Structure 1
């Protein structure tokens, strides 16, 4: 699902991003609700809320977070939760154009540049995200797995 956002994004480079687990749900610009999963676009990047069959909840936030040090770990691996992130050069043919029609994906285009995008996609066993910063030529990708990989 492609959404055009009217709000400027708060994070402007990959170096502005922080990672947190367990934060409360932050105000979202748009939410895609899937069974057991909410993909949430924030003005400061993304948040994913996963709810297990027993009601256990996990909230992952990758965003510009006031009061948190800007630090995005390359890996986190803890008791059935695994997260990876990479920062690479932004390419000319972005993947999110392919995601726009995917019913398990949420693509937010921020004003000012058609490549200023945050995209989230539910995948088997977890989710993936992309954060594009055309002004700095950076693309941040994340992958989260739940349970056994």
Structure 2
């Protein structure tokens, strides 16, 4: 991330409906937002926000998706995430100062881990432990750690 306020998507991970996450830089620090499937409610007709975002990110990671469609999908997901959590991301990563930044911080920016969930039909971003993130559970489940 070169400029304050610029958001750069670094990674997108998605499986077969079991969850997804997106990693982006915000004010020079990494934000990792996991999305897990919602618990369906009896009589629920409309797809939940979480399930829709998981489906979108799965489509974005498909080899059949071209660059333009990928960008459109990622922009849509990122807009939803930023609408729900920009204030939380700003607290976690205030506008960076270029004074006193060391090489390690530039190469390995701090990473903050969150989860998007719906509370009372509103998208909410909450901080979680790194062990709870989507990619952590995926890697643990497959015995890669």
With the length of structure 1 as denominator, give the TM-score of the two structures: 0.31
With the length of structure 2 as denominator, give the TM-score of the two structures: 0.32
For the pair shown, the structure with the greater C-alpha radius of gyration is 2
Structure holding more strand per residue? 1
Structure holding more helix per residue? 2
